[in-house]
Structure formats: C-alpha cells, structure tokens
Copies of this chain bind each other. A is one copy, B any other.
Amino acid sequence: MFEAAELGRKVSKKDYALRVPALRTELLVAQRELAGAGFSVIVLLGGMDGAGRSETANLLHSWMDARFLTAHAFGPPSEDERDRPEFWRYWMSLPPAGRTGVYVSSWYTDPIIQRTFGEIDDDTLDASMQRIANFERMLADDGTLVIKLWLHIGKKRQAKRLDRLAEDPLTRWRVTSRQRELLRRYDDLRRAAERALRLTSTGETPWVVIEAEDIRYRNLAVAEAVLQELVRRLHERRQPAPATSAPPPTSNGDLLQTHSVLDRVDLHRTIDAASVVETLTAAQERLARLVLEAYQARLSTTVVFEGWDAAGKGGCIRRVIGPLDARFFRVIPISAPTDEELAHHYLWRFWRHIPRAGHMTIYDRSWYGRVLVERVEGLATPSEWRRAYKEINDFEEQLVDRGVVLLKLWLHISQEEQLRRFEERERIPWKQHKISAEDWRNRDKAPAYRMAVTEMVERTSTEYAPWTLIPAESKPYARLEVIRRLCKALHRGLAAQRSKG
C-alpha cells in the first residue's frame, strides 16, 4: 500500500507556482458552495511523524477560508475526557453542516501507536478499527464527507527531518525521546498503519496515501484530493439519484496522472538474446518441479494476469503452462459474464473457480475488471467500483488466509509499443484475429485506463497480496520474469507451509 507512495514524486518550483493559483480559487469556490450545502466535511491527516501533518493543516487554513475551518489535535485525554467514553471528545469536535474540520491527529492515532509499541495485539487493533469504521459509516450515512489522507515518508527521510530539527536551537525542543523511539520502530508503525488503513478503507470513506517527501508535491496532492472529493460530492448533490454524468474535472486533476506508479516501471529491461532459450528452459524446468511439489504438498496457487491490450498476457501464460502437467492447472479466461454469472454478485464467478488444494488457477484477466474496464466503460456505477477495492481486498485475504499462494501480475508496456504491436497485428495475417475496433477504441481511453490502473495498484497492493509490475516491452524478458516470479512465490509458499507444520 505504501510502496506506491515511494516513487520520488516531485513538483518543480515553476510548476508549483503555475498550479497553485487555480487550485486555491477552486478550493474557495467549492468551500463557498459547501456553506449552504447542508453537509459537513472532515479532513483527517494521518501519517508518519515528520511527514508534515501540522504544516498541511496550516496550508489548508491559508489556502481556504479559515473562518469555516476548525483544526483539531488530540493529546493524552484530559480528566474531563477520561470521565467519558473514548469517543466523546471526537463527537464534541465534529463540525456542523457547511463547515470543515481538519484533524492533525484523530481516532486513529492511539490504536496505531499502541500497536506499534506492542501494547495491543492485532485482534485488539482490528476491534478498534471496526469501531472506527462503524463511527465513520454513521457519519457518512448522515451525509458527512470524510476525506482521509495518509502522508507517507520513508525511514531515511524521517531520520533526516529529525536530525535537522535537532540541529537548529529554535526547533530542538520539538525532538522528543518518543520521536526517536518512533523512528526506531518505523517498520512496526508502517505495518500497523497498513493494517489499520486496509481495514478502514471502505467505499464511502477510503484512505488516500500521499507521498510526502517533496513538500510541493505533498501540498498539491493534499489540496487536490480535498478539492476533488468536495467537488464530487457537491456535484452529486446537485444531480440527485444515480449520478450518471461525471463531476467536472478540476484544474489539477492530472497531478496523479503524471505521477503514476506505472512511471516507475523500467521498460528498458531486456535479456541477452544469445542465452534466452536456455535461460527460459531452465526456469521452466524449475517451475515444473515446484508445481509438482506444491501439488504433493496440497498447496494451491492463483495467478492473476492483467495488463494493457497487446502486452503479451497470452504468450506469458503459454510459457507458464508449457512445461506443466495438465492435471495440475486450469486457465480461466475472463470475458463478458454469462447470464448465470450476471444474476449473481460479480465476485461469484471467481468464487466458483477457487481450486481444490494442490491445484493452480491462472486467470487471463480477473476480478479486477470491476475497477478497470467496468469502471472506465461505465458498466459499474461509481459507488460500485469504489466499494470494490475493499471487497476485493477482503476476498483475497480469505484466499491467502486459507494458504493459497496468490500472485498478481500487471504486464506493462508503453503506449508507443502498444501502437507498434497493434499495427503489426493488422499487417500480419495470422495475427489479425487478435485485433478489433474495440482495441483501438480502448486506446483512445488510455488516460482513463491509466488512472484506473494507478488507483487499482495503490488500493489493492496489500501486505498479503501485493501487485507485481512486469516490464513487458521486451517479450522474452517479460516471459522469463513471470516464470521467475512464480517460482519465487511457490518457493516461499512451500517454505511457509513447511515451517507451519
């Protein structure tokens, strides 16, 4: 979940100066409409120490109309607060309709910190998160817009900030022993936070993780996220019932577009042409051995192939199954659902295919269609695809809890390479069946798909089922890499099973 916020995103001084004026104007206009709109807004700023939560709250106060904002932070409970149920102080802080509360710390802070220090276990953290999810759902049901932003920085950056504060006599007082301790426990905090965020990212109140290393990027991303959610809600309010039309795009809507996790895929990876056959054959042999071992150990595997049109999913799948005994695996191509499938929940068709112990299931496209093609083509409503992230995370958690090895692969190619392959398909007679007018239409929607893929990777890369992005510009490289990743996953799954008993 946090990997996608470690891409080194930056905004130049010049770009920043260009973007800010429009963003501030739009924020003010939206805020003015909010005043009479009959609902309230909560902006939660979570994040690592030193990621700039207070600075961000200050920024919102200077960019928006501060008369209608109230900032909140919660320290150790006062005597007054200890006398009452835990949530009393949060209730008392809630903004009335038309106004916005900005939370520098919140109901998440204590449970995450307690888990970090090992004062509570995962079960207790989960129970806390459940209470929080109930609380937020109650607010959302009542019309409150809850925007949850997690400001993420890496361990190095956190250490650097602390050192810098400690050097300056004016800020030295801000560096406490608790902060040093939190830095030492960075990995525990990260784990606790990822768990907390996953359990409370619902369709109505999702978390947005924002990379906070670069201050200009952080500022724009925060303001942009607040603006987008606010504009969307105001738009829905004006357009009651099934909101079919999209909300107007905001001026900076391309910030996330231009800083996608996909940009980090190194497309130039390739493989030595001389040894390609040998290397591939060796990897396939290893795979065949591991698949047999998994079968004997009753370890199930599920491999999900997603990727751009013409990224080479089919070729990869053929190389995977080439060396395998047909008893051990099944390839399931996902296209339009059957009538029977349409009459059920969209996940039902995937539950149907859950393999018995020891088998491998390979999906050529998958349940992610919900948040990709169905989202972009308007086949799922916004509320349907928004809540699908959590539904999918829950589904995959059940698989992994049952011991299934789950590998999710996104095959990535550039738009230029895709064009080249499309043209080749049209030119070469035996490849013509692979290209249709629909492929060209999809290509026109590339920006929307790119947005959907970025969000999919960010929201469904979990501890237990992360996405693996495969550079697929070179077909031989991609095929080998897929097999290697699969071997690694099987190897790890077998080891985990052995260590359990």
Contacts and interface: CB of A to CB of B under 8 A. Distances in A.
Nearest to A141: B387
A352 interface: yes
Contacts of A394: 134, 138
Nearest to A404: B85
B98 A138 contact: no
Contacts of A255: none
Interface stretch (A321-329, A337-345, A422-430, A482-490): A337-345
A356 interface: yes
Interface stretch (A18-26, A88-96, A308-316, A450-458): A88-96
Contact of A94 (B85, B139, B348, B391): B348
How many of chain A's residues touch chain B, expressed as a range?
35 or more
Contact of A351 (B92, B130, B139, B343): B92
Contacts of A399: 85
User: Copy number of this protein in the oligomer?
Assistant: 2
A80 interface: yes
Interface in A68-111: 80, 83-88, 91-92, 94, 96-98
A272 interface: no
Contact of A402 (B85, B356, B384): B85
Contacts of A142: 345-346
A79 to B, nearest CB: 9
A81 to B, nearest CB: 10
Contacts of A300: 83
A437 interface: no
A464 to B, nearest CB: 13
Contact of A401 (B80, B85, B126): B85
A405 to B, nearest CB: 14
Interface of A: 40, 80, 83-88, 91-92, 94, 96-98, 123, 126-127, 130, 134, 138-139, 141-142, 144, 203, 240-241, 298, 300, 340, 342-348, 351-352, 354, 356-357, 384, 387, 391, 394, 398-399, 401-402
13 contacts: A40-B343, A85-B354, A85-B402, A86-B402, A87-B351, A88-B351, A92-B351, A96-B344, A97-B343, A97-B344, A134-B394, A141-B203, A144-B345
Given A83-B356, A91-B351, 11 more contacts: A40-B344, A80-B356, A84-B354, A85-B398, A86-B402, A88-B354, A123-B127, A126-B127, A130-B130, A134-B394, A142-B345
Q: Which 6 A-B pairs have the closest CB atoms?
A: A96-B343, A91-B351, A97-B343, A85-B398, A83-B357, A241-B241
